[in-house]
Amino acid sequence: MRRLDIVARLKKVKRFTILTHIIAWAVSLIWIIPFLGVVMASIRPLPEILNGWWNFEVFNPTLNGFSGAWNHRTAPLSRALLNSLIVTIPSTFMPILVAALGAYSFARFKFPTRDLLFLVIVLLQTIPQQMVIIPIFNIAISIGLWNNYLGLILVHTAFALPWQILFLRNFFSVLPVEVEEAAMIDGASYFKIFYKIVLPLTLPALASLTALQFVWVWNDFFFAAVLIGSPDLKLATQAIPAQMGRLDPNWTVTSAASIIVMIIPIAIYVALQRYYVRGIVAGAVKG
């Protein structure tokens, strides 16, 4: 009797396991198919795509899509990709440095209005890009920072500060202060303590910030669309709509362009997955 019970139960567990596996793999299929679609479309001539990229009666793989996207007449990715890097790299490291200094101040010092100031900065996190863009556009025009990467980099830097300060302050406040105190007794300056002791301990948090901020800036379209106008200065995310056009896109070229542009954030994510996810989960998400 008892044995039969266990057998029945095992059977039930097994059926459940099989069911969950089927559901899980079916769902993941839904998620992978659009990616599979652009990969197939990027290596096939347009007529074959219009016939369905899942049909293989005729199959003439080609790299014309990639060369077309790379050397596009009006929005070549060869330049747009470089432009994106020129903007993204400083826009990744500048805010981290500035936020680290600020967050350290919030975590280690007591000063009047500290908590109020911190609250205001945290609240700024929810400000949509649309809420700041018109005055920023006006400022940029009037001081010559429109159509200028420096302007875009400064905007990205400022916009990243609220969540990075929050993230780093939380990180600093759980670091043990004894080492810093000992260093202070030994006569080290605050700045020396900061970059000799605190920053090295902060490396995992900095890895999270780097991964998230790089991907965020690389993926941004809105700030770039408003602040960068000349065709030869346009960034990678701006090149995609330019190449796709509005009617009857050349799917071979558009798919290839999409792959080239998305491979960078995907690579960052794969390389720094642990830190990336940790940053997301810590609530360090904005947009």
Partner 1 sequence: MSRRQIKIPLLFLTPALLLLTIFVLFPVVNTIYISLLNQEGEFVGLDNYAEVFGRKEFWNPQNLIEGKPPPYGALIHNGIWILVHLPLSVFFGLLLAVLLRDVKGGAIIKSTVFLGVVIPMIVGGVLLRFIYEADAGIVNAFLRVVGLGHLARTWTAFPQTILLALILGSVWIWTGFSMIVYSAGLEGIPMELFEVAKIDGASRWRTFWRITVPMLRPATIVVVTMTLLWELKIFDIVWIIQRGGPGGASMVMAVMMYLRAFLYIPSNFGTASAIATLLTIMTFGFAAYLVNRMVKS
**37/146 Cα distance (integer angstroms):** 38
Q: Which of 7, 8, 10, 33 binds partner 1 (CB under 8 A)?
A: 33
Tokens representing 235? Answer: 């960034």
E-strand ranges in 115-162 read none
> Does 262 sit near partner 1 (CB under 8 A)?
yes
Count of residues that bind partner 1 according to CB under 8 A: 99
Q: Among 158, 188, 199, 207, which residue sits at the site for partner 1 (rule: CB under 8 A)?
A: 158
Asked if 275 interacts with partner 1 (CB under 8 A), we say no
10 Å Cβ neighbour count for 237? 18
Least distance to partner 1, CB of residue 39, Å: 11
**Least CB distance to partner 1 at residue 127 (A):** 6
Which is nearer to partner 1, 79 or 99 (by Cβ)?
A: 99
> CA angle 233-239-240, nearest 5°?
165
CA–CA distance, 92 with 213 (Å, rounded to integer): 6
Of 1, 5, 6, 54, the residue at the interface with partner 1 (CB under 8 A) is 54
Residues 6+ apart with CB under 8 A from 197: 179, 180, 183
What track of x and - describes contact with partner 1 for positions 88 through 127 (by CB under 8 A)? ----------xx-xx-xxx-xxxxx-x--x---x-xx-xx
Cα–Cα distance for residue pair 246/281, rounded to 1 Å = 37
Which of 70, 159, 163, 171 forms a contact with partner 1 (CB under 8 A)? Answer: 159
Stretch that binds partner 1, among 62-70, 71-79, 202-210, 259-267 (CB under 8 A): 259-267
The one among 163, 244, 250, 253 contacting partner 1 by CB under 8 A = 244
Whole-angstrom CA distances from 86 to 32, 82, 146, 263, 270 are 31, 6, 16, 17, 22
